[in-house]
Amino acid sequence: AQSVTQPDIHITVSEGASLELRCNYSYGATPYLFWYVQSPGQGLQLLLKYFSGDTLVQGIKGFEAEFKRSQSSFNLRKPSVHWSDAAEYFCAVGALEYGNKLVFGAGTILRVKS
């Protein structure tokens, strides 16, 4: 069955520290992957995506993610976290063989300490 796992429900980091949010998936042979961010009371905003090509992708707000097919992972990173990054982050996976349906992880809530 298709699934997306975000192992960390909550993560707390200090402002200025680096960040890595984990995402593992079990999906089709040709996955495409996304990271979204959601602030309280808001919809989901697309941070970055991987479809093909370079496995290290850059997104908005200084985020990047690396697709590792051998590990079925797509971890999100940021070298220096800002207080405004506090939000909930969702990893999502689709596959061309499954059409336009995405499967979302349960989310990771990021707290930033000043």
Partner 1 sequence: ETGVTQTPRHLVMGMTNKKSLKCEQHLGHNAMYWYKQSAKKPLELMFVYNFKEQTENNSVPSRFSPECPNSSHLFLHLHTLQPEDSALYLCASSQGNPGTSGYEQYFGPGTRLTVT
Q: Cα–Cα distance between 105 and 114 in angstroms, integer?
A: 28
Q: Cα–Cα distance between 64 and 57 in angstroms, integer?
A: 6
- Does 104 bind partner 1 (CB under 8 A)? Our answer is yes
**Residue closer to partner 1, measured from CB, 15 or 44:** 44
Q: Shortest Cβ distance from residue 15 to partner 1 (Å)?
A: 27
Provide the mask over 31-70, with x wherever binding to partner 1 is found by CB under 8 A and - wherever it is not.
-x-x-x----xxxxxx--x-xx------------------
Contacts (Cβ under 8 Å, ≥6 apart) of 33: 23, 25, 49, 50, 65, 67, 74, 91, 92, 93, 94
Q: Shortest Cβ distance from residue 58 to partner 1 (Å)?
A: 14
Q: Which of 13, 94, 110, 112 binds partner 1 (CB under 8 A)?
A: 94
Q: Shortest Cβ distance from residue 43 to partner 1 (Å)?
A: 4
**Residue closer to partner 1, measured from CB, 44 or 86:** 44
Cβ contact 44:38 at 8 Å: yes
Residue type, 63: F
**Rounded to the nearest 5 degrees, what angle is found at the Cα of 33, between the Cα atoms of 9 and 77?**
55
Residues that bind partner 1 in the complex, under the rule CB under 8 A: 32, 34, 36, 41-46, 49, 51-52, 90, 92, 94, 96, 99-102, 104-107
